[in-house]
Chain A
C-alpha cells in the first residue's frame, strides 16, 4: 500500500463528515438567499453550476497530473488516482452540462449556445468520456495505465489549442463571467462560496472513496491470481 492509497483511505471519513456538516448549511443558505430581481428562482443555479465546474476542471487536471506522474514513477497508485479523478471529473462535468441548460433556457431563452466556454467544456467532457472508454477497452492493467496516461496528457494539452480555435470561430461569449468582481449581489456571496466549498469537499470525498475502491479491487485481483497460481496455499 503506497502513501497515496493510505492518504486516500485516511481522507474518506473526515471528508465525509465535513460534507455531511457543510451540505445542510449550504442548502439553508441557498434557501435563504435573496431572489434575483430579474431572473427569479432560476438564478439559484449559480450555487450549483459553477462549483461543479470547478470540481470538474480539478478532476481533469488531476487526471493529467496522475498520468504524468505514473509515466515518471511507474507507481500503480498514481494510475488509480488518475482513473478515479477522471471518473469523478466526468460526473461533475455531467452535472455542469445538465444544470447549465436549465438556467440558459430561463435566461437566454434557449437550451444551448455554441459559446466559447460551453463548447470548451463539452469538448473536455467528450475527451474524458473517450478516456474512460479507452480504459475499459484496453487489456492488461499496466498497458491500460500507460495508454490512459498518454491520452490524458494529450487531452489536457488540447485545452489551450481549443481555446484559440473557438475564439477564432467567432465564439461570442454570452456566458456570464464566473469570477467577475461584484457580479454576485448582496447576500449571494456566502451561499456561493459555501457551494464551492461543498463541491470541492464532495469531490475530495468521492475521489478518496474511488481511490480506495480501486486499491481494494486491485488487491482482490492480485489475491485471486495468487490463489490460482498456488491452490494448495489456501
Chain B
C-alpha cells in the first residue's frame, strides 16, 4: 500500500511540475471533438446527435492512449525502470500506483473536455451530470486498468507509440460499447440502464485482476 502511494505521489508530482501530459491530452480531446464537427453532416440533425456519445468516448480513448504512451517514458529515460523493478515490494502495488495516477489524469481531462462538449454541442445535461460522471469514471477505470499494463509492454518494444493502440484497441471493445450505451441513455435524460453498467463493472474487474496478476511478468528485470 505504501508503494502504491509512493508511486502515485511521484507520478502526480512530476505531472504537476510539468503539466505536459494533461495539457497534451486535453488539447487532443478537444481537437478530436472539433475535427469531428467537420466530419459529421452539417447541422445538429437527430442523426448527428445519436453519434455524440460515441464521439465523446472516441476522443477520450484517443487522448488516453496519448497519455498512456507517456506513462512509462520517464521511467525509461534515466533507467528508473530498473529502480522500480528492484523495489522490494509486490509489483502489483507498483502497477496500482501507476494506474491510479493515469486514472487521475484521465479524469481531469474528461472533466474539462466534457464541459467543453456540453457547451459546444448544447447538450441539456442538468440533473444528469452525476450519472454522466459515474459512467465516465467506470469507463476510464477499465481503460486505464488494461491500458497501463499494455503501456508497460509497449514501452519496451521497438515502435512504442504505434504498438500501444494496436495492442489496446482490440481489447477495449467491451469498455467502449458499455460506456457508449450508458452515455447515450444519460444524454437522452433516461435513468441509467443496468446491462451496460453491469458489462462495464465486470470488464473493469476482469481487466484489473488480469493486470495486477500479469504486471509482474511485464516489469520483470
Contact = CB atoms under 8 A, between A and B. Distances in A.
Nearest to A136: B158
Contact of B158 (A126, A137, A151): A137
B178 to A, nearest CB: 7
Interface in B146-188: 146, 149-150, 153, 156-159, 163, 166-167, 170-171, 173-174, 177-178, 181
Nearest to A120: B173
A130 B167 contact: yes
Given A137-B159, A157-B206, A165-B199, A130 B166 contact: yes
Interface of B is mostly: helix
How many residues of A sit at the interface, in one of the four size bands? 20 to 34
Nearest to B167: A130
A138 B157 contact: yes
Contacts of A149: 217
Given A139-B158, A146-B218, A134 B153 contact: yes
B202 interface: yes
A147 interface: yes
Contacts of A169: 177, 181
Contacts of A166: 177
A133 B171 CA distance: 15
A133 B177 contact: no
A179 interface: no
Contacts of B196: 168
Contacts, number: 85
B33 to A, nearest CB: 24
B203 A150 contact: no
Interface string A164-189: 11101100000000000000000000
B76 interface: no
A133 B218 contact: no
B214 interface: yes
B195 interface: yes
A123 B170 contact: yes
Given A164-B202, A168-B199, A154 B146 contact: yes
Interface string A122-164: 0100110010011001110001001101110111011001101
B210 interface: yes
Interface of A is mostly: helix
Contacts of B181: 168-169
Nearest to B166: A130
A153 B177 CA distance: 21
B157 A71 contact: no
A157 B146 CA distance: 12
B156 A154 contact: no
B153 A151 contact: yes
A157 to B, nearest CB: 6
Given A71-B217, A139-B158, A149-B217, A165 B167 contact: no
A139 B210 CA distance: 24
A150 B178 CA distance: 24
A71 B217 CA distance: 8
Contacts of B171: 127, 154-155, 158
B220 interface: yes
Contact of B218 (A137, A150, A168): A150
Interface string B199-221: 10011001000100010011011
Interface in B48-78: none
7 contacts: A123-B173, A127-B170, A146-B218, A147-B218, A150-B214, A151-B167, A158-B174
Q: What are the 9 closest A-B residue pairs judged by CB atoms, nearest first? A: A165-B174, A161-B174, A137-B157, A126-B170, A150-B214, A165-B177, A127-B170, A137-B158, A146-B217
Given A146-B217, A165-B174, 9 more contacts: A123-B170, A137-B159, A146-B218, A154-B146, A158-B170, A158-B171, A161-B199, A168-B196, A168-B199
Interface of A: 71, 123, 126-127, 130, 133-134, 137-139, 143, 146-147, 149-151, 153-155, 157-158, 161-162, 164-166, 168-169
